[in-house]
Structure 1
Amino acid sequence: MTESSAITPEQVEHLASLSRIAMSEDELKSLAGDLSTILGNVARVNEVAGDDVPATSHPIPLTNVMRPDVVGETLSSEQALASAPAAEDDKFLVPQILGEE
């Protein structure tokens, strides 16, 4: 990464102010260096990643392990509402929180 493409503490300060994040001068300098290093590493990867290199999201192939979806025994409305603090019209009754009708 060249010096002209390095992230400056002023740029980090600008982004922090847009994000409404308060940062000290030491944090700004440290983060500017970290971001410059990250951008340099991304630039190096872009140099070697050609059209013959397939895009991957994970270095190890992953498979999703799922069990069969089988209908099992369920609670009746009466059983589900038996321990409810309040119920009305065969439904749970909860306090109104939005002030709407």
Structure 2
Amino acid sequence: MARKKLSDAQKQFIAGDDMNTQASQQVLAEANTQVSTEISDRIGADLKQELFSDRKTKESSIRFTVDIPESLNKRLAQLSVDTGKPKTELVRTILDRALTSLDY
């Protein structure tokens, strides 16, 4: 039984066309960046409002230890100074918002 020859389109599909793949990846990356920026802007505005508001809900808690880079700690410390809230409260709020945005 003789094999059929592949068309150029079939060869491209099997081998992968670098130019189309790169262009597709770039378009996807740009779309993801745009969507990510829109979501970040929306979440950022809501989060900023929540961080600067006075929310007083109390729930039992557990201790959770995490190591963070010094630069992140400095940013968190500055936010704490700006909002007048302890870093622990800010981290709780930020984690809650992040998990909520992921539907967890």
Same fold (TM over 0.5): no
By relative contact order (CA 8 Å, sep 6+), the higher-ranking structure is 2
**TM-score normalised by length of structure 1:** 0.28
Task: Flag the structure with larger Rg.
Answer: 1
**TM-score normalised by length of structure 2:** 0.27
Larger helix share, 1 or 2? 2
